[in-house]
C-alpha cells in the first residue's frame, strides 16, 4: 500500500509525524506554568529543528557530490575539525579578544574560517583525487580521531580561563543547546537553503556521475565546490549548537532514500529533514519526560546510527 | 563539422593520444577502431570535453569544446561512455528524462515528454519504462543509456563501445538505429567499435588508431584490407566482399 503513495503524499504524512512529535515535546509532563514552559521548550524545539535540518541536508548533499551512500560529513570528521579550529583560535588569539568581541560576529568569522579549511582539505581529498570508497572511510575515521586528539592536546596546553571559554562549544549536546547562536544560525541555514533551491535539479544530474553531468551541460567541479561550502556552513551550525554527531546524518539520509519513493532532491532532502526532526524531537521528548534524562539522546542515536553504518559497510563489501 | 587539431594527451610519460588531427564533415557514421590501448576511448573523451588535452583543440560547429559554455555544448554534442555507475536508484524513464536536462533544466514540458516517448519507443523500452536500472540485464541497461543520449537530441553523438553487453540481435538493432539517425535526422555519430565487421557494414568512415596515433582514415573499402589489418592488429585476416561490404574472417 505504501508503495503506491506519491512522493508528495509521503512528505505530507511525514509532516504530520513531525507536528505530532513537536506537540508531544511541548506538552508532555508540564509542571511549571505555561508562561514559563512555552518559551523555554520553544527555544529548545527550534534548536532541535535547526540541528535536524543542518545534519540531514549536509549529509544528503555530501553523499550526492561524493557519489556514495555510506560516508557523511560526520563520519569524515567535519565536526571535529570545527572543534579543533575553535580551540586553535582561542589558544592563539587569547581569551580577552575572544570574550570581548560580539558573539554573533565572532561566530560568523569562525564559520568563514571553517568553510575555508574544510573546502581546501575535502576538495583535495574528494574531487582532485578520485579514490576508492573504502580508503576514504579509513581516511575519514583517522582524520576524525586526529582532529579530536589534537583538540584534546590544545585543551591541555590552555590556561583555565581560555578553556572556560571553550566549554560552551565543547560540551554542547542535545540537552544543552547553545541558544545564544540560534538567531544567526537560522539565518545562515536560510541563506544556504535559498542558494540550494536554485540547484535542486542540477543536484539530480550530479548524482548521475561526473561524466554524465558534463555531458548534460553542468560544470561539476564548480558545483561541487559551491556545495562543499554549503556543507561546511551547515556542519558548523549543527556542531556549534549540539556538538559532534557522527552517525545520525547517515541514518536519516539512507532512510530518506528508501522512503522518499523518488531520486529527486526536491523530495529526498525534505524527507531527510523531516525524518531527522521527527526522530530528534520525539526522542528528546521521551528521554526528558518519560525516562527523566536517564540517558543522553546522542548515545542512543549514535548507537543505532553506528550499527546502521556497519551494516552498510558490510553490504557494500559483499557486492 | 568536427575539427580536431594536434591533440596530445599523456598520463605521466605514457603518450595516450599523440598528435591526432582530422575533420569530419556532414552527417554520417564514423567508427574508431584499433587494438586495446590504442587511445580510442581517450580520443573520444577529449573530443567530448570529458578529458582535457595537454595540447591541441577540438571544434564542433565552430564551438571550441574546451572553452565554450557547458549547457550550449550539451545541446550540440552528447557522449556516452562505457562505464556508467549511478549511486541513486532510477527507473528507465527517469534516466531517459535526464536527456532533456540541457533544454528543460529539470522542468519537463510537453515537447520534452514527446521526445522521451520517442526515445523509449526507438529503443524498444516502452515495456520497461517503470523498471529500475538495477533490475535490468546489461543489454537492457545499455539500451536505456543510449535512449538517454538520443533523447538529448544533439547533432553529434559520441558513443564509446555502445555494443558492449548486447546480443547480436540488439547489436544489429542499435547499429541500424544509428544508421537511421544519421540518414534521416542528419546526425553525425562517432563510435568506438571493437568488431571491425560492424564498422565495415555500417560506417561511412573509419578512423584506425594505433599507439595513440591516427594511422588510417577512410571508407571501409579503403581501410579494411588485409595489409592494414595486419599492421593494426598483427593478425592475418581473410577479407571478402559480401553484399558489397568488406567482411573480415579472423577467427582461426
Nearest to B98 among A208, A214, A257 (CB): A208
Nearest to B86 among A201, A208, A216 (CB): A208
For residue B53, the Cα-to-chain-centroid distance in whole angstroms is 19
pLDDT of residue B89: 81
B214 in A contact zone (CB under 8 Å): no
CB-CB neighbors (< 8 A) of B87 in chain A: 63, 67-69, 207, 209
Q: What is the pLDDT of residues A53-70, one digit of tens each?
A: 999 999 999 888 878 787
Bridging pattern class, strands B2-11 and B14-24:
antiparallel
pLDDT of residue A101: 73
Q: Mean pLDDT, chain A, as a whole number?
A: 80
pLDDT of residue A175: 67
Query: How many beta carbons lie within 10 A of that of residue B168, not counting itself?
Result: 8
Look-up: residue for cell 542528419?
Answer: B186
Which secondary structure element, helix H or strand E, spans residue B248, and what is its range? strand B245-249
Cβ <8 Å between A263 and B81: no
A312 in B contact zone (CB under 8 Å): no
* B47 within 8 A of B10, measured Cβ to Cβ: no
Query: How many beta carbons lie within 10 A of that of residue B12, not counting itself?
Result: 5
Q: At what angle do helices A133-157 and A297-318 cross, to 10 degrees?
A: 150
pLDDT of residue A128: 61
Measured over the CA atoms of residue B128, residue B133, residue B139 and residue B142, the dihedral's sign is positive
Select the more confidently predicted residue: A91 or B163.
Answer: B163
pTM of the model: 0.84
First to last CA, chain A: 30
**What whole-number distance in Å separates Cα of residue A289 and Cα of residue A280?**
14
Which secondary structure element, helix H or strand E, spans residue B59, and what is its range? strand B55-60
Q: Which stretches does DSSP call E strand in chain A?
A: none
**Mind telling me how many Å the CA of A93 is from chain B's nearest CA?**
44
Helix (H, G, I), strand (E, B) or coil at A292: coil
Asked if the model's pLDDT at residue A133 lies above 70, the reply is no
B68 in A contact zone (CB under 8 Å): no
Cβ <8 Å between A200 and B106: yes
CB-CB neighbors (< 8 A) of B101 in chain A: 201, 205, 216-217
Query: Which residue stretches of A94-181 are H helix?
Result: 95-100, 103-122, 133-157, 160-170
Nearest to B84 among A205, A209, A218 (CB): A209
pLDDT of residue B250: 84
Across-strand partners of B158? B79, B190
CATH number for the domain harbouring residue A282: 1.10.3470.10
B106 in A contact zone (CB under 8 Å): yes
Select the more confidently predicted residue: A99 or A146.
Answer: A146
Q: What is the pLDDT of residues A28-52, one digit of tens each?
A: 777 777 777 777 788 888 888 888 9
Helix (H, G, I), strand (E, B) or coil at B11: strand
**Mind telling me how many Å the CA of B98 is from chain A's nearest CA?**
7
**What domain range is A274 assigned to?**
47-318
How far is CA A259 from each of CA A309, B95, B106, B202, rounded to the nearest angstrom?
18, 20, 22, 46
A277 in B contact zone (CB under 8 Å): no
Q: At what angle do helices A297-318 and A265-285 cross, to 10 degrees?
A: 140
For residue B32, the Cα-to-chain-centroid distance in whole angstroms is 9
Cβ <8 Å between A217 and B89: no
Bridging pattern class, strands B55-60 and B63-64:
antiparallel
Nearest to B81 among A67, A211, A218 (CB): A211
Asked if the model's pLDDT at residue A258 lies above 60, the reply is yes
Low-confidence ranges of chain B (pLDDT < 50): none
**What whole-number distance in Å separates Cα of residue A275 and Cα of residue B16?**
49
**Per CATH, which fold does B1-76+155-251 belong to?**
Rossmann fold (3.40.50)
Question: What ipTM, to 2 d.p.?
Answer: 0.82
* B74 within 8 A of B152, measured Cβ to Cβ: yes
Q: Where are the domains of chain B?
A: 1-76+155-251, 82-153
Asked if the model's pLDDT at residue A93 lies above 80, the reply is no
**Mind telling me how many Å the CA of B87 is from chain A's nearest CA?**
6
Q: How many domains does chain A have?
A: 1
Half-sphere exposure of A304 (CA within 13 A, CB side): 13
Give A 110-169 residues with CB within 8 A of chain B. Answer: none
Cβ <8 Å between B70 and A219: yes
Select the more confidently predicted residue: B154 or A165.
Answer: B154
pLDDT of residue B32: 92
Helix (H, G, I), strand (E, B) or coil at A174: coil
| Closest alpha carbon within chain B to A256 | B88
Cβ <8 Å between A69 and B87: yes
Select the more confidently predicted residue: A187 or A30.
Answer: A187
In a domain, A17, yes or no: no
A69 in B contact zone (CB under 8 Å): yes
Look-up: residue for cell 598528435?
Answer: B19
CB-CB neighbors (< 8 A) of B151 in chain A: none
Q: What is the pLDDT of residues B151-191, one digit of tens each?
A: 888 889 999 988 887 888 888 888 988 898 888 888 899 99
**What whole-number distance in Å separates Cα of residue B41 and Cα of residue B43?**
5
**What whole-number distance in Å separates Cα of residue A281 and Cα of residue B184?**
61
Cβ <8 Å between A201 and B75: no
* A60 within 8 A of A253, measured Cβ to Cβ: yes
pLDDT of residue B233: 87
Q: DSSP letters of B184-219?
A: HH--EEEEE-S-HHHHHHH-SEEEEEETTEEEEEE-
**Mind telling me how many Å the CA of A200 is from chain B's nearest CA?**
9
pLDDT of residue A53: 92
Cβ <8 Å between A214 and B50: yes
Amino acid at each position: 500500500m505504501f508503495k503506491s503513495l506519491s512522493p508528495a503524499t509521503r512528505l505530507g504524512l511525514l509532516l504530520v509525524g513531525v507536528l505530532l512529535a513537536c506537540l508531544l515535546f511541548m506538552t508532555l509532563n508540564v509542571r511549571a506554568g505555561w508562561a514559563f514552559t512555552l518559551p523555554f521548550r520553544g527555544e529548545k524545539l527550534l534548536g532541535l529543528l535547526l540541528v535536524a535540518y543542518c545534519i540531514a541536508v549536509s549529509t544528503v548533499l555530501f553523499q550526492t557530490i561524493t557519489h556514495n551512500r555510506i560516508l557523511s560529513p560526520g563520519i569524515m570528521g567535519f565536526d571535529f575539525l570545527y572543534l579543533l579550529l575553535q580551540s586553535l583560535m582561542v589558544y592563539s588569539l587569547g581569551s580577552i579578544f575572544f570574550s570581548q568581541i560580539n558573539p554573533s560576529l565572532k561566530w560568523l568569522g569562525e564559520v568563514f574560517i571553517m568553510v575555508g579549511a574544510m573546502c581546501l582539505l575535502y576538495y583535495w581529498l574528494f574531487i582532485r583525487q578520485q579514490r576508492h570508497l573504502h580508503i576514504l572511510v579509513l581516511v575519514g575515521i583517522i582524520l576524525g580521531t586526529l582532529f579530536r586528539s589534537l583538540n584534546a592536546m590544545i585543551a591541555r596546553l590552555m590556561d583555565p580561563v581560555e578553556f572556560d571559554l571553550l566549554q560552551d562549544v565543547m560540551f554542547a549536546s542535545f540537552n544543552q543547546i547553545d541558544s545564544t547562536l540560534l538567531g544567526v544560525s537560522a539565518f545562515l541555514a536560510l541563506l544556504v537553503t535559498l542558494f540550494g533551491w536554485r540547484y535542486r535539479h542540477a543536484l539530480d544530474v550530479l548524482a548521475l556521475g561526473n561524466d554524465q553531468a558534463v555531458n548534460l551541460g553542468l560544470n561539476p567541479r564548480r558545483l561541487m565546490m559551491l556545495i562543499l561550502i554549503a556543507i561546511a556552513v551547515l556542519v558548523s551550525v549543527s556542531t556549534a549548537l549540539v556538538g559532534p554527531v557522527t552517525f545520525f546524518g547517515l541514518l536519516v539520509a539512507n532512510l530518506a532514500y528508501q522512503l522518499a519513493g523518488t531520486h529527486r532532491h526536491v523530495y529526498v532532502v525534505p524527507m531527510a529533514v523531516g525524518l531527522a526532526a521527527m526522530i530528534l524531537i520525539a526522542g528528546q521528548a521521551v528521554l526528558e519526560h518519560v525516562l527523566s534524562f536517564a540517558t543522553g539522546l546522542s548515545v542512543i542515536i549514535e548507537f543505532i546510527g553506528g550499527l546502521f553504518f556497519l551494516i552498510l559497510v558490510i553490504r557494500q563489501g559483499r557486492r | 563539422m568536427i575539427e580536431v587539431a594536434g591533440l596530445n594527451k599523456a598520463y605521466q610519460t605514457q603518450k595516450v593520444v599523440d598528435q591526432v588531427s582530422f575533420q569530419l564533415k556532414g552527417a554520417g557514421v564514423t567508427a574508431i577502431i584499433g587494438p586495446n590501448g590504442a587511445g580510442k576511448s581517450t580520443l573520444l573523451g577529449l573530443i567530448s570535453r570529458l578529458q582535457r588535452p595537454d595540447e591541441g583543440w577540438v571544434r564542433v560547429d565552430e564551438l571550441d569544446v574546451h572553452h565554450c559554455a557547458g549547457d550550449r555544448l550539451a545541446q550540440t554534442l552528447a557522449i556516452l561512455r562505457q562505464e556508467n555507475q549511478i549511486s541513486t536508484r532510477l527507473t528507465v524513464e527517469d534516466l531517459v528524462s535526464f536527456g532533456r536536462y540541457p533544454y528543460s533544466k529539470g522542468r519537463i514540458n510537453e515537447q520534452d515528454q514527446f521526445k522521451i516517448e520517442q526515445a523509449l519507443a526507438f529503443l524498444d523500452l516502452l515495456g520497461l519504462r517503470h523498471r529500475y536500472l538495477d533490475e535490468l540485464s546489461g543489454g537492457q541497461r545499455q539500451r536505456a543509456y543510449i535512449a538517454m543520449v538520443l533523447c538529448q537530441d544533439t547533432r553529434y553523438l559520441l558513443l564509446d563501445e555502445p555494443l558492449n553487453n548486447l546480443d547480436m540481435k540488439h547489436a544489429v538493432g542499435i547499429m541500424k538505429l544509428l544508421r537511421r539517425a544519421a540518414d534521416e535526422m542528419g546526425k553525425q555519430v562517432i563510435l568506438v567499435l571493437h568488431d571491425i565487421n560492424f564498422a565495415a557494414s555500417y560506417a561511412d568512415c573509419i578512423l584506425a588508431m594505433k599507439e595513440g596515433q591516427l594511422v588510417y582514415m577512410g571508407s571501409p573499402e579503403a581501410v579494411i584490407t588485409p595489409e592494414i589489418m595486419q599492421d593494426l592488429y598483427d593478425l592475418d585476416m581473410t577479407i571478402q566482399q559480401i553484399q558489397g561490404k568488406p567482411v573480415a574472417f579472423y577467427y582461426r
